[in-house]
Amino acid sequence: MGRGIIVKESFITLGAGCFWCTEAVYSQVKGIISVESGYTNGQQPARPSYEQVCTGTTGYVEVVRLGFDPSLISAAEILEIFFTIHDPTSLNRQGADAGTQYRSGIYVEDESHRSIAQSLIHEIDSSGVLGKPVVTEVQSLRNYWAAEDYHQRYFEQHPYQGYCAAVIGPKVAKFKQTFQRLLS
């Protein structure tokens, strides 16, 4: 950040399956100020653990909460990436990760982001490009809890771990090829 420049940071929270994958992609995007893995929009308990969320009974979603500089990247560009890096037509599943905690979701704190998300979903569905309707939920962010420290920057710290090498690495490579203009 330059000297004397005050940035009004905006936030959006995204569920696109495993938060390690989503965090690995967005941590490389120009204009993204912060990326934090966490859990959102669940019922009980407050401050859930990874193990509790994995039971599928808490209502929480694995997400990343993004802080971004809207003068460098728009919410529409962030959502363009989102709809490309996961399957938004798959209900409660991304690849081998299955359960309600892996559902596709956009959780907004700014109502303009809701409008952008709904417009993009309508555009995708109308085009028929995905062959099936988008099942991504668009909701207000009701609650959010940061995931445990060992989940933060997971891919960065464990690039050769089995899941990272087999799933996250190829996803990040595809993202970089598709979105070169948005790389930091």
Distance CA 110, CA 102 (A): 23
Nearest to 104 by CA among 122, 120, 96, 92: 92
Task: Specify the residue for token string 């965090």.
Answer: 23
Which residue, 175, 183, 152, is CA-closest to 23?
152
Q: Is 18 a catalytic residue?
A: yes
Element (H, E) at 58: none
Residue 174's H or E segment, with its range, is helix 169-178
Chain centre to alpha carbon of residue 120: 16
CA angle 144, 149, 151 (to 5 degrees): 80
Catalytic residue among 18, 21, 54, 164: 18
**Helix, strand, coil shares, percent, the chain, to 5:** 40, 25, 40
Residue 55 tokens, joined: 């039971």
166 conformational bin, left if phi > 0, alpha if psi -120 to 50, beta if neither: alpha
Catalytic residue ranges: 18
